[in-house]
Amino acid sequence: MTRTLGRPNYAATYAPYPGERFAVPAVDYRQIDPRFLRQTVDYPWEEPVGSVVVDPAAYHLYFVEAPGRATRYGVGVGREGFGWSGPARINMKRDWPDWVPPREMIARDPEIRARLEPTPRGLGVKGGPLSPLGARAMYLFGEGRDLGYRIHGTLEPLTVGSNVSSGCIRMINQDIVHLYTRAALGTPVTVLPT
């Protein structure tokens, strides 16, 4: 458990986000458990400054800001059987990314196919207000390859704090935009076991 050191003004933090290619609507943060809203916390573990640590069991993602201090965000994580843990690095970042679901996902849920259209990377949903990846995505690589997992925004902010995705780590759009500006390419990411 980490101790809260500071909280931003949530009315401003989760207000409509200005200057975007597509609208980032306000989030009614009062409907979200306060544990999953952005805050600065004690971080007593040893990861280096600039690291990202995901604790799926607690539905938290930490960005280590300084020794002993991190920004903590709420996240939605993989449903039962879709979780993943281990080390990775952010090898690619995208602003308003296209979503191209893997064949396995389409096979599990054929209704997805009706939403898909051609994108530069294959059949998917073009980046924008309908893309399940939200306003930003950071792609996790390890073992010399794309692991197929992302840290990304969501169209469903009320799902933060639950097991909802096919293994990816989803964040409120205002939070993923905030993290995206801090986490550089090459940032080490550790996803803890559940």
Mind telling me the catalytic residues?
A: 152, 168
Return the pLDDT at 81.
Answer: 47
Q: Is 50 left (phi over 0), alpha (psi -120 to 50) or beta?
A: left
Q: Tokens in use for 34? A: 């306060």
Return the pLDDT at 80.
Answer: 59
Per-residue model confidence as pLDDT tens digits over 71-82: 999 999 976 545
Alpha helices in the chain (DSSP H): 10-13, 103-108, 173-180
Q: Tokens in use for 120? A: 């530069």
Return the pLDDT at 123.
Answer: 85
Q: What is the mean pLDDT of each run of 10 residues along the chain (194 residues)?
A: 91 94 96 97 95 95 97 88 82 94 75 81 89 95 91 95 84 98 97 89
In 80-192 the beta strands, taken as DSSP E runs, fall at 86-95, 117-119, 122-124, 136-142, 145-154, 163-165, 169-172, 188-191
pTM: 0.92
Q: Tokens in use for 137? A: 């995505």
Please give the span between the terminal C-alpha atoms of the chain, in angstroms, as a whole number: 15
Alpha helices in 30-84 (DSSP H): none
Q: 122 near 100, Cβ under 8 Å? A: yes
